[in-house]
Amino acid sequence: MTKGMRMIRDEILATLRETMENGAPVPMDLDTITEETTIGELGFDSLSVLDLIYDIQQAFGIDFEAQDLVNINT
């Protein structure tokens, strides 16, 4: 991975962590969130996952297709 790609990846992860922290149903320590951390481990239920998806879409200016969201487990 090039340095530029690493920076972009790190920025994406930082934005995701911040978005998750802001939308978390329970307080969390950002330093404990890794790429392997599951949504359920962070205390998100089905409703809070929907809020999180909306927040992620807003943060990145993207729209998820409904079919992409069918297999999300909480």
Q: If you compute the radius of gyration of the chain from its CA atoms, what whole number of angstroms results? A: 13
Tell me if 40 is assigned to some domain: yes
What range defines the domain where residue 36 resides?
3-69
Q: Domains in the chain: how many in total?
A: 1
Tell me if 38 is assigned to some domain: yes
Q: What is residue 60's predicted lDDT score, i.e. its pLDDT?
A: 93
Q: What is the pLDDT of residues 12-67, one digit of tens each?
A: 988 988 898 888 888 877 777 787 888 888 888 888 888 999 999 999 999 988 88
Tell me if 26 is assigned to some domain: yes
Asked if residues 17 and 59 have their Cβ atoms less than 8 Å apart, the reply is no
The answer to whether residue 11 scores a pLDDT higher than 80 is yes
What does pTM read for this prediction?
Answer: 0.75
Tell me if 74 is assigned to some domain: no
Give the C-alpha distances (Å, rounded to integers) separating 26 from 1, 29, 52, 70: 34, 10, 13, 24
Which CATH number do you get for residue 27?
1.10.1200.10
The answer to whether residue 4 scores a pLDDT higher than 70 is no
Residue whose entry in the numeric block shows the structure tokens 């990846």 = 9
Tell me if 56 is assigned to some domain: yes
